[in-house]
Structure formats: C-alpha cells, structure tokens
C-alpha cells in the first residue's frame, strides 16, 4: 500500500488553481444572472435546471477553494450568495416572476454538491480510523463507564514480549487431507 500523500501547502499550485476556478465560476454566475436573458443561450431544458447546475458548480468550486472551511460555513456562504443574487434580480423586470423558485433551485444545487461531503463526515464520526492490518475490536465492552479510569497503554517492550512466542497453530479441517 502506498504511503499517505504529504499535506499540501496554501501556496500549492493546485490550491491556487482551485481558488482561480472558483472566482471564474462566481464571475460567470454573476454575469449570467444579471445579464439580459437574450444574451444567454439555453443550455438545459428547464430554466430551474440551469440554476441548479450553476450552483452545483459554485458549491463544488467553493468547497475546493475553501478547503479549510467547515462544510456548513461553505453552505452558509452559498446561501448568502444565492440570496443576494436573487435579491438583485428582483429589480430586473424580466426576472421578477420566478425569483423564489430560482432561489430554491440554487440552494438545491448547492445541497446536492455538498451532501456527499456531509455524508462522508457523518460516516467518519462513527468508526475510528484503523490501520490496514488491524482487525476490528470484537471483545469491547458494551457499556461506556466514564467512572473507570482509562488503562495506560503498554510499553513497547511489553508488546514485544507478549507476541514473541511461536505463532498460533491453525485448526485442521475436519474432512481435509
């Protein structure tokens, strides 16, 4: 198994590219949202699908660019961006009719992009990280007595003495050779 990759720094080229892509996506979104509707080609069948897809891309690019920020903070910032853009669009007469539906589609696209990250964080909270050779703990006690003091970890020489004997024998098959 390969060794874990080294952590990237803030000035890593990939981090800078992620930030630049995020800024380009937000600039394109602002232009597409505020430009006259005749300037924009129809990309998807539904106008609301276009809003969903646009904010899906914004959420992905923001999550990549702001890798240290909590996912909830990223979602809050996207909700603020969607609210501001749809609020400004209220003043454009050709966009006033479907502002609430567009806002819901915006937030739906952001939630669709960020939900796999939330589910991954949720799943990690239930099981501890294990090394590849470590078996799952089968004999752990069922109750969590917080009154008990944690047992000190054994010293390395104690571990070596404990496992220095001959390897255990495997049981023979009943009908085997």
Q: Which residues contact 82 (CB under 8 A, 6 or more apart)?
A: 55, 103, 106, 107, 110
Provide the 10 A C-beta neighbour count for residue 38: 7
**Residue 134 tokens, joined:** 């470590």
Instruction: Choose the weakest-confidence range: 43-57, 70-84, 135-149.
Output: 135-149
Residue 78 has pLDDT above 90, yes or no: yes
80-118: pLDDT as tens digits: 999 999 888 888 776 677 788 889 999 999 999 999 988
Q: How many whole angstroms separate alpha carbon 100 and alpha carbon 32? A: 17
- Per-residue pLDDT, 60: 93
Q: pLDDT grade, residue 1 (50/70/90)?
A: very low
Distance CA 97, CA 86 (A): 11
pLDDT tens track for 3-30: 556 777 777 888 889 999 999 999 999 8
Helix (H) or strand (E) holding 58: helix 47-65
Per-residue pLDDT reduced to its tens digit, 36-71: 777 777 777 788 898 899 999 999 999 999 888 888
Residues 6+ apart with CB under 8 A from 9: 15
The pTM score is: 0.63
Tokens of 104: 């819901």
Instruction: Enumerate the domain spans of the chain.
Output: 13-124
């Amino acid at each position: 198994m390969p060794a874990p990759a080294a952590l990237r720094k803030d000035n890593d080229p990939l981090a800078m590219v992620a930030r630049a892509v995020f800024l380009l996506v937000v600039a394109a979104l602002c232009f597409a949202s505020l430009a006259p509707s005749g300037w924009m080609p129809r990309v998807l069948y539904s106008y609301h699908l276009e809003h969903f897809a646009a904010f899906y891309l914004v959420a992905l690019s923001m999550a990549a660019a702001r890798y240290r920020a909590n996912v909830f903070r990223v979602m809050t910032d996207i909700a603020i961006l969607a609210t501001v853009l749809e609020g400004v669009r209220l003043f454009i007469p050709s966009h006033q009719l479907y502002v609430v539906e567009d806002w819901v589609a915006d937030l739906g696209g952001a939630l669709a992009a960020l939900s796999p990250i939330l589910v991954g964080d949720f799943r990690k909270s239930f099981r501890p990280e294990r090394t590849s050779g470590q078996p799952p703990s089968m004999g752990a006690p069922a109750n969590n007595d917080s009154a008990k003091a944690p047992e000190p970890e054994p010293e390395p020489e104690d571990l070596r003495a404990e496992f220095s004997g001959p390897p255990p024998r495997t049981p023979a098959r009943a009908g085997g050779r």
